[in-house]
Structure 1
Amino acid sequence: MTVLVVGASGYLGRSVVDAFAARGVDSLGTYYSNPIEGATRRYDFFADDPADLPLDAVESVVFAAHVERTDHDFETFAAAAERFVAAVRSAGPRLVYTSSAGVFDGSGSRYDEATPATPKSKYGRRLRRFERFVAAHDDSSVLRADYLFGRSRGSLDRRLARTRRLVREGRRVPYYADMWKSPCHVREAGRALAVLAGSDVQGVVHAPTPRTSAWAFHRAGMAALGERPRLVVPEPMPDDPTLHRDTSLSSSRFERVCGFRPRSVVRALRG
């Protein structure tokens, strides 16, 4: 089996490539600006023709590129996403798309796969549109994961890296104690994507990691990294309708499909 990882040079993509390697699966990878091991083919999602990618040479495609937060307008994004999925459908390989809990508006809690998407941000609306294109492909799956964290080939995620830097400076770092997430370790997300790429599972799968507040996440992260968690302090969310109060995820499928249970922040960082 050979797979194509789009966005293989990115934070998540590196862990996806490594997960395939651990399973003995050959992968080809794309990069946008920085070629690295496992990502040697340049690809611009918005400018390049996806039909020029080696889609005929692979059995599965994993889309791990972070293209939903660019400055392109919605119509340009949607056209690029539709073009990409159409190229994969024409060539025939399986497609696995990486989405997130951003498709939900945050007014609920512990969203499962049956919960309709209710995006309220530009990011969420783009995720939902891409998901809809993917769903039109007969052999496809979507992994939704929230708040990716941890080290990918030694590089710590930007959230925890920022908190660690401020803690080391001796500064108090406030985070919302009433904003709820389901933080997923990047290597566990990569592992799940590798499993889905080699399966015949269809539709959406959530990464159901333990529900925790943004404050508790950073506090636990500092403890696991050997820093001073007491400098991470709680504060309440402001009355801001653009914020997502709760994007925690649950799943009736993940453990059965992927064969493992995602770990807590401390266990994942120390493991």
Structure 2
Amino acid sequence: MTRGVLVVGASGFLGRAVVDRLRERGVETRGTYYSNRCDGATRRFDLFADDPTRLPLDGCDAVVFTAHVERTDHDRDAFVDRVERLLAACGDRLFVYVSSAGVFDGDAGRYVESDEPAPKSKYGRRLRAFERRVVDRVDRHCVLRPDYLFGYSRGRLDKRLSHTRERVLAGETVAYFDDMYKSPAAVTEVAAAVAAAVVDGVRGLLHVPSPRTTAFAFHRAGMAALGLPYRRVLPEPMPDDPTLHRDSSLRSERFVEDVGFRPRSVWRVIRSQADVPATG
């Protein structure tokens, strides 16, 4: 039985949902924040400036890392060094790292866990570097890869759908790529997968195989689910830009069996949360 969990990045969009889900499952949590202190996140921690040996790890059997650090301006060597220091400080505790579909090049899509990552962005390369250190240095670990997080976390809608909502409510039209494919993952369902790793013993590499859709269809379905004028969301083609990920969709060889549910579409998720105030 897990006694306690430290959530690094507990004040973030995903971190808040992880804290809430772990509490629902009877797990004691404590958490860190970088800039915004909140319920469940009371210890400030900067991966690049603070000593990880001073993290409040006493009584914790597991560490969940949800902090968004891979887009940092620090050079790669500094990034890797701080990741390694963190992992060393965590000792033999279970370590759950929430990565992303960004470790793939986005050329093929429908990636499964056994597909070899080929990141083509700085962000993706740092995700992959973090993953490798976790796998190589931590005996008990789980690396989760979701894509395109969305939904409500403590009553706040994600920034993607919030931006679209603001535009359509203002009477504007907004266009999204109808040939860019994603597997949008509900933040609450990713949090449930994290809890499965902590409480139920799910280990190794695990994709969150949410239904594949285009960026355009995602935003239009989201607006429809919110009861807003979804026809103001228009399709447009992707530009000829090799740095863009044309298809980062995910499948899984084990998610449903290990975690116990099948991830839902944006329509089903948002409609099921229709009574949640839209305060994002």
Shorter-chain TM band = over 0.9
Q: Distance in 2 between matches of 1:51 and 1:202?
A: 25
**Is contact 1:7-1:31 (8 Å) kept?**
yes
Q: Distance in 1 between matches of 2:19 and 2:245?
A: 31
1:30-77, Cα deviation, whole Å (9 max, x unpaired): 111111111111111111111111224211110011111122222221
Which of 46, 54, 57 is equivalent to 1:55?
57
Cross-structure match for 1:205: 206
**Is contact 2:84-2:133 (8 Å) kept?**
yes
For the residue of structure 2 that corresponds to 1:119, the secondary structure is coil
Cross-structure match for 2:30: 28
Query: Does the alignment pair 1:10 with 2:12?
Result: yes
Q: Which runs of 5+ in 1 are unaligned?
A: none
Q: Distance in 1 between matches of 2:58 and 2:128?
A: 27
1:215-254, Cα deviation, whole Å (9 max, x unpaired): 0000000011111110000011010000000000000111
**Is contact 1:172-1:231 (8 Å) kept?**
yes
Query: Does the alignment pair 1:255 with 2:219?
Result: no
Count of residues paired in the alignment: 269
Compute the TM-score of the two structures, normalised by the length of structure 2. 0.94
For the residue of structure 2 that corresponds to 1:97, the secondary structure is strand
Q: Distance in 2 between matches of 1:193 and 1:126?
A: 21
For the residue of structure 2 that corresponds to 1:268, the secondary structure is helix
1:109-120 paired onto structure 2 within 5 Å: 109-120=109-120
Q: Which runs of 5+ in 2 are unaligned?
A: 273-280
Q: Distance in 1 between matches of 2:29 and 2:260?
A: 22
Q: Say what the alpha-carbon RMSD is for the aligned residues.
A: 0.9
Cross-structure match for 2:97: 97
- Runs of 4 or more, structure 1, over 4 Å off, are none
Q: Distance in 2 between matches of 1:76 and 1:169?
A: 44
Query: Does the alignment pair 1:106 with 2:106?
Result: yes
**Is contact 2:169-2:228 (8 Å) kept?**
yes
Identity %: 60
Query: Does the alignment pair 1:194 with 2:195?
Result: yes
1:198-237 paired onto structure 2 within 5 Å: 198-237=199-238
Letter in 1 for 2:37: P
1:68-79 paired onto structure 2 within 5 Å: 68-79=70-81
Letter in 2 for 1:101: A
Compute the TM-score of the two structures, normalised by the length of structure 1. 0.97
**Is contact 1:175-1:214 (8 Å) kept?**
yes
